[in-house]
Structure formats: C-alpha cells, structure tokens
Amino acid sequence: MATVALTMDTFEKTILEGGTVFVDFWASWCGPCLQFAPNYEAAAEANPDLVFAKVDTEDQQQLAAAMNITSIPTIMAFKDGIGVFAQAGALPRPVLDDLVSQVRELDMDQVREQLAREEDGQAS
C-alpha cells in the first residue's frame, strides 16, 4: 500500500481508526527527508496491512505545530490511537524495519495499563 497524505482534517480520524499508523513529518526542501523517503515507501510496500502516512510540514504547518514537530524528518507511530513512538531523524531501512516489528508486537493492554499507572501517579 502506498503512503497516504494527512492533513489537519484527516489526521485524527486516521490515527484513531487506522490500527497501526506510522507518520513521516517531512518537507520538500529537507535533504534528509528526501533521502529517507525511499526507505519509508519501501516499508509501506512491505507492510500493506499497516498505514504509512506523510505530513508535509510546509503545507500543514498548523498540524506540525500541534504535534510539536521541531525537526524533520520526524517519525511517529500510533497503535490503537495511542502514540507509541516519536523520533526526529531519518532512519536507515534496517532500523525502520525493526521499529515496524517492535510496534507490530506491542501488547497494547500492557501499554494501556502503564499509561493508567502513570496517570494515577501524576494525579496523586
């Protein structure tokens, strides 16, 4: 499956309904972004059951600001509507493939339990 372009209008719906979603925040003038793009596209083709999305930070400045993007490329991963990974910098293909595997294998019940414990700890 090819990558999908996200906008302010489609971002939340995609994250909440997409299952496992990877998002590449990029810009056309960004050299590292352009170097990373073929790796990201290849990962999208190799994992058609996952959503690989892109956000053009020049076109979607409000969305990039809302997601606190300060450096590009930035890769984010969401699973079941929960942000599980965020890192600035272009990832080599083996590292990207490993990230996809790790996110795929995450036990979301454990993630939700951990988030609940963290919230309880902050609430008291």
Confidence band, pLDDT 50/70/90 cuts, at residue 1:
low
CA–CA separation, 123 and 80 (whole Å): 24
Q: What's the whole-model pTM score? A: 0.92
Q: What is the DSSP letter of 73?
A: S
User: Can you give the residue ranges of every domain in the chain?
Assistant: 4-123
The architecture in CATH of the region 4-123 reads 3-Layer(aba) Sandwich (3.40)
Judge whether 30 counts as a catalytic residue. yes
Mutual orientation of helices 93-105 and 31-46 as an angle, nearest 10°? 50
Catalytic residue (one of 30, 44, 76, 77)? 30
Confidence check: pLDDT of 8 > 90: yes
Active-site choice (15, 23, 33, 55)? 33
* Mean pLDDT (whole number) for 106-119: 91
- Give Cα separations from 109 to 42, 113, 122 (angstroms): 30, 6, 20
Read off the pLDDT of each residue in 99-106 and give the average, rounded to a whole number: 96
